[in-house]
Amino acid sequence: MSDPRSRQASRSATGESTDGALSTPLALVDTHCHLDLCEGDAASVVQRAREAGVERIATVAIEPAGAGAALELATAHPEVHVIVGCHPNSASALDDAALAQLADSARHARVVAIGETGLDYYRERAPRATQVAAFRAQLELARELQLPVVVHARAASDDTLRVLADHDSATPVVLHCFGMPERVGECIERGYYCSFAGNVTYRNARDLQAAARQVPDELLLAETDAPFLSPQPLRGRPNEPANVAHTVATLAALRGDDPARLARQIADNARRVFGW
């Protein structure tokens, strides 16, 4: 018997509406997830994503010690790539040894970016000054290795943009799970990639939806942040990469675009920034 999650993901990837009508199949990418945290074994999660039309997956190791496991997944699954970094909630652990370990992992051929780094003033599990120092250290590593940087910013828009303003503008910046709609114009002006997750599908996410309409085609990305932020039709259930189809469909509807065309645009953007 086939997995009902796989059947639903496949319907989503073809753009099936709630009344069963089918549109053009989508060629999808999930630019940010955490395969090690997803429900079930990673091989099954990747298989369901593949069946849903997801051609590339970026899995994120949120601490240097987790890079090895993420790289093993990428070695086993050709569509999986790795982002390595130190999440701001773990910034206190980024001492010299951990930074050296991170730098060593980041030189692996399957690594496509540094992150997620940044600032989280919502949970504040590390002092703000410590978060800023870890953020700056990872920005410098990204510059040194000529990799893009994937940024987490929660309740910290001002300081995040202030730190990024000092960063080498030649290094691409991806604002993961875009959450600063009040600053979207500034982000666009700076040329930052804005990556939208499942929360853009929520009925009360009006500010986020307005921001998603403003981002130029060439700066738009989509992600799941799985297992977090399941899109509206699946709220209350664990998220996984196959569900990126829902986010792309919502972005297309918000922008008055064709879902298949927008999916191709997002895939092209991801290829350009991550080099996969």
In a domain? residue 243: yes
Q: What is the DSSP letter of 62?
A: S
Q: What is the amino acid identity at position 11? A: R
pTM: 0.90
Query: How long is the chain?
Result: 276
What 3-state DSSP class applies to 220?
A: strand
Residue span of the structural domain in which 129 resides: 25-274
Strand segments, DSSP code E, in 179-222 are: 193-196, 220-222
User: Does residue 15 form part of some domain?
Assistant: no
- Give the integer Cα–Cα distance in Å for 187 and 125: 26
Higher pLDDT, 121 or 169: 121
The answer to whether residue 89 sits within a structural domain is: yes
Which of 201, 142, 152, 127 is CA-nearest to residue 34? 152
Query: How many Å apart are CA 103 and CA 106, to the nearest integer?
Result: 5
Tell which residue, 228, 271, 173, has the closest CA to residue 35.
Answer: 228
Q: Tell me the β-bridge partners of 215.
A: none
For residue 127, the tally of other CB atoms under 10 A from its CB is: 11
Q: What is the pLDDT of residues 46-102, one digit of tens each?
A: 999 999 999 999 999 999 999 999 999 999 999 999 999 999 999 999 999 999 999
Domain membership flag for residue 17: no
In the chain, pLDDT over 70 holds for what percent of residues?
91
16 in a structural domain:
no
Tell me the pLDDT tens digit for each residue of 207-238: 999 999 999 999 999 999 999 999 999 999 99
Residue 7 lies in a domain: no
CATH of the domain at 53: 3.20.20.140
Count of the separate structural domains present in the chain = 1
In-domain check, residue 152: yes
